[in-house]
């Protein structure tokens, strides 16, 4: 089925590869740390008509209780090289936190917003991750992308059609292999201060790192002027913080974050999602949209 060099395993619990710790067994799973192997393995799946998904840190995703019927490729490609005095190329499996630290160490500004955001470069581009009015699309210059037909493209930022928590990758199913970023020189003291401020703000309202969660579950909404309105505002008003279904509960500090208490299933999470969507829709005639990815 697969070449031996990729060490593909069978029936591995996918929950072990998601931060929310939910998911049944993956039919196949491989951990890959070389970009050329990632390309070759995806091309193998295309030729053999095997379903596949490429996963980073699994911080914004959960799997079905039945698992995944194809190949789960866990991306551990973390290479990085300078392309200029203030620019860098990162492989897509690199952690956002690693790039954030590198920027601080080199007195580069423009990436402070990513402080405390879990996940990888590839996943962040896929969902246009961001916080406090900034997002990764604003500092991305271009990328190398593996397309569903097996071709590899060098693309510029416009290719991604970035929008709020969205990119073209959600529609064209491309996989980021590496990404080019450009930053600006700044005063290290100011950069450090900003990073500390952001981490403090996150710590005040978000669960500690060890808590099993997928982060903000629903996308924020917009008012008539196009200004963002936190989904948590509506969720809190319909009593979401008191809601528990099976092993899932709503985090007491944030109405749009759902926590696995230790025994939760995907079915519990989907039931919680449907219940809270219904409450908000009935009270406000608004339809919440899931930000977290569900794989089945």
Catalytic residues: 165, 216, 291
For residue 127, give Cα distances in angstroms to 59, 177, 226, 230, 292.
11, 15, 20, 17, 9
**Strands of 244-245's sheet in order across:** 213-216, 257-260, 248-250, 244-245
- Residues linked to residue 32 through DSSP beta bridges, in sequence order: 75
Query: DSSP string of 185-225?
Result: E--HHHHHHHHHHHHHHHHHHS--TTS-EEEE-B--EE-TT
- DSSP classification of residue 290: B
What lies within 8 Å, CB to CB, of 212 at 6+ separation is 19, 20, 21, 259, 260, 262, 264
- Enumerate the H helices of the chain as residue ranges: 35-48, 96-105, 121-127, 169-172, 188-205, 231-237, 266-284
- For residue 214, the tally of other CB atoms under 10 A from its CB is 26
Place of tokens 């995944």: 68
CB-based contacts of 53, cutoff 8 Å, min separation 6: 68, 70, 71, 72, 73, 295
Whole-angstrom distance, CA of residue 231 vs CA of residue 13? 31
Instruction: Give the tokens for residue 227.
Output: 């200004």
Token pair belonging to 161: 């059609």
Category of 187 on φ-ψ map: left (φ > 0), alpha (ψ -120 to 50) or beta: beta
């Amino acid at each position: 089925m697969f070449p031996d060099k990729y060490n593909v395993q069978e029936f591995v619990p996918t929950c072990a590869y998601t931060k929310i710790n939910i998911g049944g067994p993956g039919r196949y799973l491989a951990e890959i740390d070389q970009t050329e192997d990632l390309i070759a393995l995806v091309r193998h799946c295309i030729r053999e008509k095997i379903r596949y998904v490429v996963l980073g840190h699994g911080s914004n995703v959960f799997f079905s209780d039945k698992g995944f019927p194809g190949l789960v490729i866990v991306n551990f490609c973390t290479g990085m090289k300078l392309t200029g005095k203030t620019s860098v190329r990162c492989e897509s499996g690199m952690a956002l936190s690693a790039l954030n630290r590198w920027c601080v160490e080199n007195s580069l500004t423009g990436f402070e917003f990513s402080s405390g955001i879990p996940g990888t470069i590839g996943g962040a581009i896929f969902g246009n991750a961001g916080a406090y009015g900034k997002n990764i699309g604003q500092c991305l210059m271009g990328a190398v992308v593996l397309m569903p037909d097996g071709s590899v493209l060098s693309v510029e930022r416009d290719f991604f059609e970035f929008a709020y928590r969205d990119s073209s990758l959600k529609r064209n199913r491309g996989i980021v292999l590496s990404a080019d970023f450009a930053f600006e020189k700044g005063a290290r003291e100011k950069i450090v201060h900003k990073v500390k401020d952001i981490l403090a703000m996150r710590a005040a309202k978000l669960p500690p790192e060890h808590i099993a969660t997928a982060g903000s579950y629903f996308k924020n909404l917009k008012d008539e002027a196009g200004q963002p309105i936190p989904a948590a505002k509506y969720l809190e008003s319909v009593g979401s913080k008191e809601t528990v279904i099976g092993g899932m509960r709503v985090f007491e500090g944030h109405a749009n974050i759902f926590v696995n208490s230790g025994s939760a299933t995907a079915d519990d999470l989907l039931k919680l999602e449907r219940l809270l969507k219904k409450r908000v829709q009935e009270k406000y005639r608004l339809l919440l949209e899931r930000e977290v990815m569900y794989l089945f």
